Amino acid sequence: MPEPFATTVTVRSQIVPGEDLHTVTVTAGLLPGHTYDFSHIIKVAPNNPGLLISDASAGVVQTVGDSTITITLTNIPQTLPTTTTATGLVAIAGGGVTELDVHDVIVVSAAMSDITGFSNSFLETGVPIPEPASFALLGAGLAGLGLVRRRHG
């Protein structure tokens, strides 16, 4: 990648299934007439086995020009549409995964372009599985209700 190069990853501390959008943004001085490859891996946190990455999107940061980005999910395999702006979220084949191997190809047009970077976004969906303490609390509550019913029944 050209210099200076910076990567920003945005996440939220509390997972909201169906609403948790995580974005990887890369900013750099991208040169006209060049092609850049960028690969990374996206994983769901192992302590949340009920969550899946269900959708993905990509886009270049530009207001002028026709530079493009193509995102390929190499372990699916699936390629999102080539775009000169941000795509809408596209469903991941198979209904969702816990890990994505992402490969971006950014083609900067030789003509006028003010591209300053690109981004990928990923949506987590699913139902988080409660930790064992929550199951124990639920079990104790149900057992208590059973005893109360037995005494009054």
Q: Token pair 């124990």 is at which residue? A: 136
Task: Give how many domains the chain has, as a whole number.
Answer: 1
What is the chain's mean pLDDT, rounded? Answer: 76
Residue 128 has pLDDT above 90, yes or no: no
Cα separations (Å) of 20 from 38, 55, 69, 77?
23, 11, 23, 23
Domain assignment of residue 131, given as a range: 5-152
Specify the range with the lowest mean pLDDT, choosing from 37-41, 103-107, 110-114, 125-129: 125-129
Residue 145 has pLDDT above 60, yes or no: no
In sequence order, the 6+-apart residues with CB closer than 8 A to the CB of 76 are: 92, 93, 94, 97, 100
% of the chain exceeding 70 in pLDDT = 67
In sequence order, the 6+-apart residues with CB closer than 8 A to the CB of 6 are: 26, 27, 28
CATH number at residue 129: 2.60.120
Candidates 40, 39, 58, 60; CA nearest to 109 is: 60
% of the chain exceeding 90 in pLDDT = 5
pLDDT of amino acid 123: 85
Residues forming beta bridges with residue 22, ordered by sequence position: 122
